[in-house]
C-alpha cells in the first residue's frame, strides 16, 4: 500500500515539488503525467527507498517522509498526476483512492485563459483520516467551525471522497478531479484551447496573478472560497477581466486558511447560526450572487437517483452566447442529454415569475437585496419543481417556496461574467452528444477571450 500528498499543490516550472509519501514497500518510484486529452507521460523517477508512516486524523498534518523533485523549466502549465508506483502495484486511473497525487504546474502567461482547480472544495469532501466537513467534522475553536488539513492524502485524487455515487456515472466520485474538471480540461484540449492552470489557493496567496489573463474559467463544483479568493476574482472582473462559471453551488461557503495555509476551517452551523454562509445575516452578509450573478439558494440540488427535468428554456436566442445554435425562444436546451444538463446542483436567480410555456421570466423587485448585479441578463432557465431533493430557504421564502431555477446568465462589471448555473455542464460537454452545448461553450470562451 502506498499513498502521498504534496507539500504545496502548485509549483512553477523550475521550482521544487515536494511529495510526502508512505509505503509498505522497500522501494517505489514516481511517474509524472500531465492531464490533457488523457494522460501525457512527462517523466519517471529512479526507484526510491520507501518508508512506512502512520495515518493520522482529518485535521492533522500527517508529517510523512518527504521527497523533492525538480520541475523542469519546459513543463507546460496544467494539472499533473504523480503516480506512486510500487513493484506490482496499482495501475493509474483518475479514480484511484491511493497511490496518486494531484498538483498543478502554473503558467506565467500574459493574456489568454486561466483554468482554476477548486482545491478547497476537493478537501472539504476529502474523508481521508476519518472525517470531512460532512461526516465526523473535526472541530476548531479559533477560528470556530470544522477544520480539515491539506497535508494529507486526497484533494482531487488519491484519497477517500465523501458522498453518494453519481447515478449517471459511478466511475469516479463527485468532488474529485475526474468527475468534472478532468472532463472540461479534456474537452478544451480536444478543441484547441491551451489554458494555463492554477488552484484556488494560488489566487488567495497571489491575487495579482489574475491580471496577466483575459479570462478565468471555473467548471463543475466550486463551493468553498476564502475571502481572498473572492476579493481577487471580483477585483479582476471589475478591472476588465472576464470570468466564465460552467459550474454551480459557486461560492456557497466561506473558508478560512489556518496554520500557514496548511489547513482550512468553515463554520457551517450552530446555535447562533452559520457564520460562514456568504449571504445570510448571521454569516458574511455578502451574497454570492454579486460574484457570479446567481446562487444555489435560488436553485437546488438532486443528489441521488435519476433526475427528471425538461431542460433550459431559451429566453434570449439573439444573444451572442446562442450564435450558431439555431435555438429559438422557448426551445429547450439539454432536455435529452445524459446526464440531464440541469445537474446535481444548480444555481438560480431571484424570480417573481417564470412561465416556461410562454418563455417569460421576471426578475424579482428585491433582486438588489440578494446581490443580483444591475446589468444581469437571464439567457435561459430550467425550472426546478417540487421533486428536487433540496430547494433551499431564502430570506423571503422557506425551503421549497418561491421560484427555483437553474439559471444561465451574463452581466458586465468592468469585464463580463457568464454563469451556466449547473455542475454537470462538463459531463454533457465532454460526452460530445449535444452540439448546441458545445457551440455555446465555444461562443462564451471565444467571446470572452476577445473582449
- Per-domain residue ranges of the chain: 2-105, 113-450
Please name the CATH architecture into which domain 2-105 falls.
Sandwich (2.60)
Question: Which residue reads 486558511 in cell numbers?
Answer: 257
- Indicate whether 251 pLDDT > 90: yes
Cell, residue 330: 422557448
- What band does 88 get if pLDDT is binned at 50, 70 and 90? confident
- What band does 277 get if pLDDT is binned at 50, 70 and 90? very high
- Indicate whether 216 pLDDT > 90: yes
Give me the mean pLDDT over the 168-186 stretch. Answer: 96
- What band does 369 get if pLDDT is binned at 50, 70 and 90? confident
Mean pLDDT for the chain? 96
* Consecutive H or E run containing 417: strand 415-419
Rounded CA separation 182/292 (Å): 22
* Consecutive H or E run containing 238: helix 227-238
Cell, residue 158: 488519491
Rounded CA separation 379/113 (Å): 23
pTM: 0.97
Q: In what order do the strands lie in the sheet with 16-23?
A: 2-6, 16-23, 66-70
Residue 174 · residue 127 · CB < 8 Å: no
Mention the CATH class of domain 113-450. Answer: alpha beta
Q: What is the pLDDT of residues 41-76, one digit of tens each?
A: 999 999 999 999 999 999 999 999 999 999 999 999
Identify which of 339, 363, 361, 351 has the alpha carbon closest to the alpha carbon of residue 423: 339
The SS3 of residue 391 is coil
Give me the mean pLDDT over the 88-112 stretch. Answer: 93
Burial of 243 (0-12, 13-18, 19+ CB in 10 A): buried
Rounded CA separation 394/296 (Å): 10
Amino acid at each position: 500500500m502506498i499513498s502521498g500528498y504534496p507539500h504545496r499543490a502548485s509549483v512553477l516550472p523550475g521550482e521544487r515539488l515536494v511529495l510526502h509519501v508512505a509505503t509498505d514497500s522497500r522501494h517505489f518510484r514516481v511517474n509524472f503525467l500531465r492531464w490533457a486529452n488523457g494522460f501525457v507521460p512527462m517523466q519517471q523517477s529512479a526507484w526510491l527507498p520507501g518508508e512506512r508512516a502512520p495515518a493520522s486524523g482529518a485535521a492533522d498534518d500527517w508529517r510523512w517522509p518527504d521527497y523533492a523533485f525538480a520541475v523542469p523549466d519546459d513543463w507546460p502549465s496544467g494539472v499533473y498526476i504523480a503516480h506512486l508506483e510500487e513493484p506490482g502495484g496499482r495501475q493509474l486511473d483518475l479514480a484511484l483512492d491511493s497511490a496518486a497525487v494531484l498538483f498543478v504546474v502554473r503558467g506565467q502567461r500574459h493574456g489568454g485563459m486561466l483554468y482554476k482547480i477548486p482545491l478547497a472544495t476537493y478537501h472539504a469532501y476529502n474523508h481521508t483520516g476519518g472525517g470531512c466537513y460532512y461526516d465526523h467534522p473535526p472541530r476548531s475553536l479559533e477560528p470556530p467551525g470544522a477544520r480539515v488539513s491539506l497535508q494529507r492524502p486526497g484533494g482531487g485524487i488519491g484519497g477517500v471522497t465523501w458522498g453518494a455515487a453519481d447515478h449517471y456515472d459511478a466511475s469516479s466520485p463527485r468532488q474529485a478531479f475526474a468527475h468534472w474538471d478532468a472532463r472540461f480540461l479534456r474537452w478544451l484540449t480536444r478543441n484547441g484551447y491551451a489554458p494555463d492552470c492554477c488552484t484556488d489557493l494560488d489566487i488567495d496567496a497571489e491575487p495579482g496573478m489574475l491580471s496577466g489573463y483575459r479570462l478565468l474559467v471555473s467548471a463543475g463544483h466550486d463551493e468553498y472560497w476564502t475571502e481572498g479568493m473572492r476579493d481577487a476574482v471580483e477585483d479582476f472582473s471589475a478591472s476588465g477581466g472576464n470570468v466564465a462559471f460552467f459550474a454551480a453551488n459557486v461560492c456557497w461557503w466561506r473558508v478560512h486558511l489556518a496554520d500557514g495555509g496548511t489547513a482550512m476551517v468553515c463554520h457551517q452551523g450552530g446555535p447562533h447560526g452559520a457564520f460562514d454562509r456568504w449571504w445570510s445575516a448571521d454569516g458574511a452578509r455578502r451574497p454570492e450572487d454579486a460574484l457570479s450573478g446567481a446562487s444555489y439558494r435560488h436553485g437546488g440540488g438532486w443528489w441521488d437517483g435519476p433526475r427528471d427535468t425538461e431542460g433550459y428554456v431559451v429566453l434570449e436566442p439573439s444573444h451572442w452566447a446562442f450564435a450558431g445554435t439555431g435555438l429559438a425562444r422557448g426551445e429547450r436546451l439539454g432536455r435529452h442529454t445524459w446526464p440531464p444538463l440541469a445537474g446535481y446542483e444548480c444555481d438560480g436567480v431571484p424570480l417573481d415569475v417564470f412561465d416556461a410555456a410562454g418563455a417569460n421570466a421576471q426578475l424579482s423587485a428585491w433582486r438588489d437585496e440578494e446581490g443580483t448585479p444591475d446589468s444581469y441578463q437571464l439567457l435561459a432557465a430550467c425550472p426546478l419543481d417540487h421533486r428536487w431533493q433540496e430547494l433551499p430557504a431564502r430570506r423571503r421564502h422557506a425551503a421549497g417556496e418561491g421560484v427555483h431555477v437553474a439559471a444561465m446568465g451574463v452581466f458586465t462589471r468592468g469585464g463580463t461574467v457568464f454563469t451556466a448555473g449547473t455542475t454537470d455542464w462538463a459531463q454533457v460537454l465532454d460526452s460530445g452528444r449535444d452540439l448546441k452545448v458545445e457551440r455555446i461553450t465555444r461562443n462564451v470562451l471565444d467571446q470572452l477571450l476577445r473582449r
